[in-house]
Structure 1
Amino acid sequence: MSKDILADKADTIFTRTDAAVKGYVTEDDFIAVAKKNLEKYKEAPDSSKAVALIESFKSLWRAYLSNLATPQATKLSREEFRASFKKHKQNKVFDKVLVPLYRNLFDVIDTDGDGQLSVHEFSVLTAVNLAQAKQAFKEIDVDGDGHISREEYLSAFKAFCESSEPTSTGNLLFKG
């Protein structure tokens, strides 16, 4: 990572969202990310969990636009996306938009419905090799009970979105 860690994080998310490599992202790209996660976890597209997750990704798209005061925009370049990502903390986007999104995503990821994530459930999310997923899992599982609780999960995502520290546990979420 470079010295501008938040920019690096924004670039990671941008690259994963711009799957067609157009050089910009749209609301449709955000919806596609939601649908990809639903497919990975074999969640029915018309389930209440699926609808909630897609709506959360739409809210995130609107937050990116709002951060830049461009609510009528239909696409964001990498530079615009990066600038908006960096404003998440000051605009309290994590609490307003990302907590509901990550709660909805957690509900999809938690395929056995036990209220916590197993290594397997977590590894599907991260899209890295199993060894990397296990290492990240171990560090995010702060209490060491062998599961990632909803609180540990939200804490890691908050660190990813807001921390400029290179050793932040949240950075483990999107390695690779």
Structure 2
Amino acid sequence: MTVQPYVMEKIRASFDFIDADGDHVITEDDHILQGKRVAAALGHPEGSAEERRIIDAYLRIWKELHLPMDTDGDGKVDMDEFIAATSKLSEDPAMAERLIGNLTDSFFAIADRDGDGGIDPAEYAAFMAGHAPGMPSAEVAEAFRHLDIDGDGQITREELHRANVEYFTSNDPTVPGSWAFGRPTAAA
């Protein structure tokens, strides 16, 4: 199965977000940097237990999801390795559900600051300020509206999971998951 062009575009965009230091490879250091940025954006002081918890969550993502993509064993995931591994998600729905479920659990635990079982607009905006810096606040708010599928003012774990699966598997720019990293290019 060939990965559809729009899915490929989203895979490439997600690589750029994960490559936090912009050196064109994904490493453990990128995950530490992302964890620190997200913790700061969520209002957790540097060196705090909450910052450590968030960094540890990002390091689990590195070890469990991204490091296994490193096929040449150099401790880095380049764009080609990332595309090869991530494009399989659109070909294997069961693998997508499993891997993305783990990713969703990590992100949800980080973003749901108050632990009420939902991510409200302020929590989402703070999370995205660290996770996807540079995304305009109006775009973050619009993305929230798309990801909050039932319109109740909170993104549930199920809504976040669906969005993450759609982001990596759907070729349809109108599905909510196409907004996971901001305005879909095809919808601009």
Q: For the superposition of Structure 1 and Structure 2, which TM-score range results when normalised by the shorter chain?
A: 0.7 to 0.9
Q: CA 1:106–1:121 in 2, change beyond 3 Å: closer, same or farther?
A: same
What letter corresponds to residue 8 of structure 2 in structure 1? A
Report whether the alignment pairs 1:134 with 2:141: yes
Output the CA distance in 2 between the equivalents of 1:154 and 1:51.
21
Aligned counterpart in structure 2 of residue 114 of structure 1, from 113, 116, 126 = 116
User: Does 1:56 find its partner at 2:58?
Assistant: no
Deviations 1:6-42 (A, max 9, x none): 2211221221222333222223323432343233224
Does structure 2 conserve the Cα–Cα contact (< 8 Å) formed by 1:140 and 1:156? Answer: yes
Identity %: 27
Paired residue total: 169
Look up the match of 1:36.
37
Residue ranges of structure 2 left out of the alignment (5+ in a row): 45-49, 130-134, 184-188
1:161 equivalent in structure 2: 168
* Residues 14 and 107 of structure 1, relative CA distance in 2, 3 Å threshold: same
Deviation at 1:155, TM superposition (A): 0.8
Match of 2:179 in 1: 172
Q: Report Cα offsets for 1:23-73 as digits up to 9, x if no partner.
A: 2222332343234323322452334x65344313321113423xxxx2734
TM-score, normalization: structure 2?
0.76
Question: Counterpart of 2:52?
Answer: 46
Question: How far did 1:172 drift?
Answer: 0.9
Q: Distance in 2 between matches of 1:79 and 1:173?
A: 22
Runs of 4+ in 1 over 6 A off after TM superposition: none
Instruction: Tell me if structure 1 keeps the 8 A contact 2:119–2:154.
Output: yes
Contact 2:28 2:59 in 1 (8 A): no
TM-score, normalised to structure 1, is 0.80
Distance 1:23 1:139 in 2: 30
Query: Which runs of 5 or more structure 1 residues have no equivalent in the other structure?
Result: none
After TM superposition, list the pairs within 5 Å mapping 1:58-73 onto structure 2.
58-65=63-70, 70=71, 72-73=73-74
CA offset at residue 93 of structure 1?
4.1
| Map of 2:47 onto structure 1 | none
